[in-house]
Amino acid sequence: MAIKRIGVLGSGIMGSGIAEVAAKTGHEVILRSRKLDTAQAMVSGLEKSLAKQVDKGKLSDEDRTATLARVQATDDLDALSGCDLVIESVVEDLDVKRALFAELDRGVQADAILATNTSTLPVIEMAMATERPQQVVGVHFFNPAPMMSLVEIVRPLTASDETVTAVTEFAAACGKDPVEVKDRAGFIVNALLFPYLNNAVRMLEAGTASRDDIDTAMKGGCNFPMGPLALLDLVGLDTSLAILDALHTEFKDPNYAAMPLLRRMVSAGHLGRKSGQGFFDYRR
Ligand SMILES: NC(=O)c1ccc[n+]([C@@H]2O[C@H](COP(=O)([O-])OP(=O)(O)OC[C@H]3O[C@@H](n4cnc5c(N)ncnc54)[C@H](O)[C@@H]3O)[C@@H](O)[C@H]2O)c1
């Protein structure tokens, strides 16, 4: 099955990035947010992002125009009915995602694939909220989606080979490098990454080193492009907390038990870059 028309649900960091990747690689994209002005703001964000790429000589004017012509914004879930693939990328909350999958299942054409961009939640739970569990899969992009080459293809017990092949081909058509992984919390990357990020918060909380020194040490000592605290800010502290909670629920490993400081920062609304304040200050 060739995937040509994509629906993207969710107007956060990831929804916008996935829409940009898919549209730039020739797919028709319908962006759906609960509010029309939010969906339209995503299109404006895409316009700005593409304009910057044209200014830098990374994209031709012609390709910018063609990319934008492939994108449509809506607040109506029914507008996704003719999609070949719908990628859900809303808040990391299983109840919200399950309800959305049940609704999508009723509205989207019967042979379409429904995918989630969840970072850690069990894909099987979303599959079983539908009448088409063989056509439900995880398609996990990384942040920022236009720059990161990896896509994890997450295979729940119910997914058919045809579904996995179709989304793997889609990821490759988006210019990404797909890897396949079983439906276990955190998949490959987050299962390995989050104990490290959480332990950086533990170290900060214990006063072992300062915020800046922790990040400088991991950049200079491991050749990582970002320090762990800056990376948590990029991911979003609320999303990071949800990821750790899901990992801890699944594995009960103490390294996945979110540090109290992280939890308190989320309660305070310090969510990282998206709120302007996290471990670092982005308000200037
Ligand atoms: N942030 C990352 O680095 C990253 C990376 C890969 C995957 N993900 C996953 O992508 C998904 C979205 O994450 P994000 O970082 O874009 O989050 P975000 O906070 O930037 O955006 C969340 C979106 O969900 C919408 N939303 C909130 N409550 C909702 C509801 N009840 N019904 C429908 N929509 C609702 C919000 O309006 C917003 O558009 C999550 O599943 C997350 O785990 C995040």
d(CA 137, CA 122): 10
Q: 118 CB less than 6 Å from ligand 1?
A: yes
Q: What is the 3-state secondary structure (H, E, C) of 61-118?
A: HHHHHHHHHCEEEECCHHHHCCCCEEEECCCCCHHHHHHHHHHHHHHCCCCCEEEECC
Q: What's the confidence (pLDDT) of residue 2?
A: 85
Q: 89 CB less than 6 Å from ligand 1?
A: yes
Identified catalytic residue from 190, 198, 240, 275: 190
Q: Which of 98, 190, 239 to mutate to test the pocket of ligand 1 (most atoms within 8 A of CB)?
A: 239
Is residue 119 part of the annotated active site? The answer reads yes
Q: What's the confidence (pLDDT) of residue 284?
A: 81
pTM, full prediction: 0.93
Is residue 275 part of the annotated active site? The answer reads no
Query: Measuring CA to CA, which residue among 126, 118, 123 is closest to residue 95?
Result: 126
Is residue 140 part of the annotated active site? The answer reads yes
d(CA 199, CA 196): 5
Q: What's the confidence (pLDDT) of residue 141?
A: 98
Is residue 27 part of the annotated active site? The answer reads no
User: For the chain, which residues score pLDDT lower than 50?
Assistant: none
Q: 35 CB less than 6 Å from ligand 1?
A: no
Q: Which of 33, 89, 116, 194 to mutate to test the pocket of ligand 1 (most atoms within 8 A of CB)?
A: 89
Identified catalytic residue from 33, 88, 117, 140: 140
Identified catalytic residue from 16, 27, 152, 240: 152
Query: Is the Cβ–Cβ distance between 89 and 10 less than 8 Å?
Result: yes
Q: What's the confidence (pLDDT) of residue 226?
A: 97
Q: 193 CB less than 6 Å from ligand 1?
A: no
Q: 235 CB less than 6 Å from ligand 1?
A: yes
Query: Measuring CA to CA, which residue among 256, 111, 275 is closest to residue 196?
Result: 256
Tokens 């125009």 map to which residue?
65
Q: 117 CB less than 6 Å from ligand 1?
A: yes
